[in-house]
């Protein structure tokens, strides 16, 4: 289960019987073997490696599936896609609770009312991301996602006292910007020379959606981190409220803004691949369970900026999936941009490690 501080604790069903009565409530009286087993479980659940790896796998699955669905020549029902994903996600979580795999508190109307703005931001994040993927190749999409890190980092300085940005962190941010410019160099050249399209896999509309996605993503991550600290929600509760509360606006937007005529449905879901599209939409809802849970897990065990950097480092396998499965061009500029982005991630990791050592050194000296 998750503690109020956001850490997972391996707690037995009957703790008093397992540890013996204790006035202080500590586990110091527990048998050595039980304490060792519990300590190992705590270390595994609270170690950043596990949530980071889970997020990377779920992220690749979601990106590839969404790219396949929205890349259809006539697909324009993004809100319907997101509504299906959120519905399947909620059903998966409810099924896990019924099977006794997980547990979470009953639905709280007051908590839902306060959490709704975050769920609405999540809708905006996924929608703008799906629209960006519709116009951009996967490598360019993942590279430009780095810009979100810069927005989040400065947002943390504003909203979370004690956060700071070091000079080495600034270097990593500069590398991110350079990698984004290199990735877009083909499209920038095409625009300046008046070419209709670029072979690098981008378009002006795609870049507009991408920049919107960066700012909305930053607002979502920062808001969710602050709300988690206030409510003390577990990761499953965060996942449940995020997806459950996003279904009503998604359905409303789909009915109002999208074409539900028979001709439109036939264009969006052609007979030759209708079953595969619907199956992948349902499967992506299951993958959404993984990515939503992993997102909350990473933010809880690390920080919102570190979470975004994980997404940046994840660009290599994600970009490779685009080249392998969708034939995205592997040009010199795109490969160079991916390498620069990966280097920016390494520099950022070094900067955060050095910053953490400096902040903890006075404590060790004391």
pLDDT for the residue 6: 43
- Entry pTM: 0.61
Give the residue, 45 or 136, on which the prediction is more confident. 136
Please report the pLDDT score of residue 78 as a whole number.
80
Q: Indicate whether 230 pLDDT > 50.
A: yes
Query: Residue 178: is its pLDDT beyond 50?
Result: yes
pLDDT for res 365: 44
CA–CA separation, 228 vs 359, rounded Å? 24
Q: What is the residue whose two structure tokens read 């570190």?
A: 306
All structural domains of the chain with their residue ranges: 77-360
pLDDT of residue 252: 92
Provide mean pLDDT across the span 230-238.
Answer: 79
Task: Report pLDDT for 102.
Answer: 78
Which DSSP string do the residues of 69-106 spell out, in sequence order? HHTSTT---HHHHHHHHHHHHHHHHHHHHHTTS---PP
Share of the chain above pLDDT 70, in %: 69
DSSP letter at 61 equals H
> Mean pLDDT in the chain?
74
Which residues are within 8 A (CB) of 348 and not within 5 positions of it... i.e. 6 or more apart? 149, 169, 172, 173, 309, 312
pLDDT band of residue 59 (cuts 50, 70, 90) is confident
Stretch 96-119: mean pLDDT, rounded?
A: 85
Contact 216/124 with Cβ under 8 angstroms?
yes
Query: At 5, is the pLDDT very low, low, confident or very high (cuts 50, 70, 90)?
Result: very low
Backbone angles phi, psi at 132, to 5 degrees: -65, -40
Residue with token string 């300046």: 192
> Mean of the pLDDT values across residues 309-320?
63
Q: What is the pLDDT of residue 319?
A: 61
Please name the residue ranges forming H helices in the chain: 15-19, 32-46, 49-70, 78-98, 109-135, 138-144, 147-159, 167-183, 185-193, 204-231, 235-257, 262-268, 274-301, 304-313, 315-326, 332-365
How many helices and strands (H and E) does the chain possess? 16, 0
How much is the pLDDT for 43? 65
Nearest residue to 288 via CA among 57, 80, 68, 128: 57
Give buried/exposed letters for 180-217 (b at 16+ CB in 10 A, else e): bebbbbbbeebeeeeeeebebbbbeebbebbebbbbbb
Mean pLDDT, rounded, for 115-135: 85
Lowest mean pLDDT among 142-146, 291-295, 315-319, 351-355: 315-319
Q: Give yes or no for residue 299 having a pLDDT over 80.
A: no
Among 90, 118, 89, smallest CA distance to 228 is for: 118
> Which pLDDT score is estimated for 360?
66
Q: What is the mean pLDDT of residues 34-42?
A: 58
When pLDDT is cut at 50, 70 and 90, the band that residue 213 belongs to is very high
Q: Output the pLDDT for position 100.
A: 81
Q: How far is CA 92 from the centre of its chain?
A: 18
Q: What is the pLDDT of residue 116?
A: 92
Average pLDDT (162-179) is 81
């Amino acid at each position: 289960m998750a503690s109020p501080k956001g850490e997972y604790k391996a707690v037995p069903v009957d703790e008093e019987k397992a540890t013996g009565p204790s006035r202080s409530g500590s586990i110091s009286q527990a048998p050595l073997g039980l304490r060792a087993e519990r300590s190992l479980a705590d270390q595994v659940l609270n170690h950043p490696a596990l949530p980071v790896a889970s997020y990377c796998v779920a992220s690749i699955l979601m990106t590839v599936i969404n790219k396949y669905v929205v890349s259809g020549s006539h697909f324009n029902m993004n809100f319907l896609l997101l509504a299906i994903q959120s519905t399947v996600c909620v059903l998966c979580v409810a099924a896990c609770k019924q099977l006794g795999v997980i547990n979470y508190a009953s639905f709280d109307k007051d908590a839902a009312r306060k959490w709704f703005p975050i769920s609405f931001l999540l809708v905006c994040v996924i929608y703008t991301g799906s629209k960006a993927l519709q116009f951009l190749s996967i490598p360019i999409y993942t590279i430009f996602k780095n810009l979100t890190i810069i927005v989040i980092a400065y947002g943390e300085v504003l909203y979370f006292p004690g956060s700071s940005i070091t000079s080495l962190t600034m270097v990593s941010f500069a590398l991110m910007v350079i990698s984004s410019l290199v990735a877009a160099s083909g499209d920038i050249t095409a625009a300046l020379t008046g070419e209709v399209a670029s072979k690098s896999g981008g378009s002006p509309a795609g870049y507009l959606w991408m920049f919107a996605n960066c700012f909305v993503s930053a607002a979502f991550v920062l808001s969710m981190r602050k709300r988690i600290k206030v409510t003390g929600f577990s990761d499953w509760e965060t996942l449940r409220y995020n997806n459950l509360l996003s279904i009503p606006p998604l359905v409303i937007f789909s009915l109002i803004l999208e074409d539900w005529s028979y001709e439109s449905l036939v264009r969006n879901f052609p007979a030759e691949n209708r079953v595969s599209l619907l199956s992948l939409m349902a499967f992506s809802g299951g993958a959404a369970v993984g990515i939503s849970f992993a997102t909350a897990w990473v933010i809880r065990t690390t920080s919102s900026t570190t979470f975004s950097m994980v997404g940046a480092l994840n660009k290599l396998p994600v970009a490779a999936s685009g080249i392998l499965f969708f034939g995205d061009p592997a040009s010199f500029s795109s490969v160079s941009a991916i390498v620069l982005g990966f280097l920016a991630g390494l520099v950022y990791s070094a900067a955060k490690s050095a910053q953490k050592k400096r902040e903890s050194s006075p404590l060790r000296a004391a």
